[in-house]
A and B are shown apart, each in its own frame.
Chain A
Amino acid sequence: MENHDHISNQFDNDLESIRNHVLSMGGLVETNVKNAITSLLERDQALAEEVAKADFKVNQMEVEIDEECTQIIARRQPAAGDLRLVLTAIKVITDLERIGDEAEKIGRYAQTLASKKAKTGMHLELQTLGEKVSSMLNKTLDAFARMDASQAMEVVGLDIRIDEEFDRISRLLVSHMMEEPKNIKSMLRVSWCARSLERIGDHAQNICEYVIYSVHGEDVRHADIDKVKKEYLSKQE
């Protein structure tokens, strides 16, 4: 995104440091989400416990990056692209923190699901959703790392697939609950996991929208993404 360095080296370094920290926070969150899904699918209690505990590190990073952003706003008064970058960072880490929370939740449910030796195999149905979510998250972070708006726009579209998959799983779970009422508790846990994964997708979408804002300065949060995409493409031509 930056074609020129700032006259102040320190400012460059500070901005770069924020980006790097957000990226490493993203990496951490991504690992947590992957581990959560793995622990859920493979009933890996130890991994699930690790995931549940790993969230404090994410929270700590959020606070640190927040402080960094506060300092850079107070001391550097960033403008234009720099300002959008800092604002984006502040918003991105909020969503990342929420993703981290969702991963923690999944980890906790995974712990119970693994320990109770729940008889249901429904958790395996989450595999597709999990793959889709973690792939979306991966692409999101990639788009942020490269500040690639067109990729971000594509990723925003992926959320619909995730929502469809979530609906499918919900319907499936409802029909199974009616068939096997005694497993409702486990089913609910699986449903909550699915819900968490769907939420992660939503947060990832938010992050992508921030990336688009950061690059183009256009707020696309509540707009029709296809329209924005078209506009953007026509502008490029």
Chain B
Amino acid sequence: MNNLEIVKAGLNKRYAKERRFKFYGIFSISLSLLFLFFLLFDIGAKSIPAFTQTYINLDIEFDKKSMKLQDQDSYSEETLFSASYSKLGRNALYKLFPEVTERKQKKALRQMLSSGARYDLRDAVLENNDYVGTTQNLWVLAGDDIDAFVKGLIDRNIPEADRRVKDYQVKWVDILEAQNKIERRFNINFFTSGDSREPEQAGILGALKGSFYTMLVTLLLSFPIAVSAAIYLEEFAPKNNWWIDIIEININNLAAVPSIVFGILGLAVYINVFGVPRSAPLVGGLVLTLMTLPTIIISTRAALKSVPPSIREAALSIGASKMQVITHHVLPLAMPGILTGSIIGMAQALGETAPLLMIGMVAFVADIPQSILDPATVLPVQVFIWSDSPERGFIALTSAAIVTLLVFLFFMNLIAIVLRKKFETRW
């Protein structure tokens, strides 16, 4: 056999190997795509109910007696605000179903409405003062069990003892539906309010803003610190100096430290020593900064290293100082890489839960944070809290929160890509 024949003989084997390798690649990619789609589909499908809410149409009689108001022609805002609205909704229901007299059934009838309905009615009155003393046809938020039942999450065919909605409640819902007095509407509440113990009143805005403030603090702190540190280490630090070597090793190790350790550090140092307010986005941002720093430093150094030395030489040879070389040439050229690293770090920080648990961002916060010093929670922690809650409605909310988190992440990446493209085309 001459060489050519030997080569030809082995050829099929080689190609088979190549084909096999290709197949493995395609197989594993398909598999991961399948899992990804399954995950997204599952979360997406589960989150859909969270985006609608059930409302019941009632003739609300704003009588002064039930509202515990004195007989007057007009009332000040404070008076209206502190008036009692809790009886209005149930009175309307009693009127609608006068045959219900038993105490237990009356209670069930009351629970048809959300406990938060009174606040909606209060807001309606505050907006229209002249409602007082009149009867108005209004849509009122339904309770979470009714909401779940209307959405089909509770099956009417299972025995009454096993379901949370009683038979007479089912009957009432059917009657209301027959009269077109029950309706599903888009859940604006989810995007405009903070957390709540009642799933039908719980919203994501608090966590969203908390995440936003936390990310803002993280970005504003970690980006400049990390980039400056990377520039110093890469461009100015003396080579073969053991101090610098130790710093480098530590930075690399820092990237591998479990995130909860940063949380403990934050608790011990920021909160206990420096007295930064607990649960605030400020302290969350500070802790996440610690976590993000090594990631950004390492990627920035890689980006700086990848700038061709010929560009530095060119600038130096014209008479640019070292700082000018860096600011005029090296940094702009490294910017896309730096941004990529930063966004990876930020995305990591955005999805981080563990360290934030340590610094109290897991607390129940119903108010929407207005600054970085207000108590807040963040999206992943919100997911964690909701997934831990027993009420039926929180299942959908958990998924909806995950979807929100993914959308937030998507926009963050989008901004990064746009920025990177902008820097790349400039050059």
The short answer to whether A and B are in direct contact, CB under 8 Å, is no
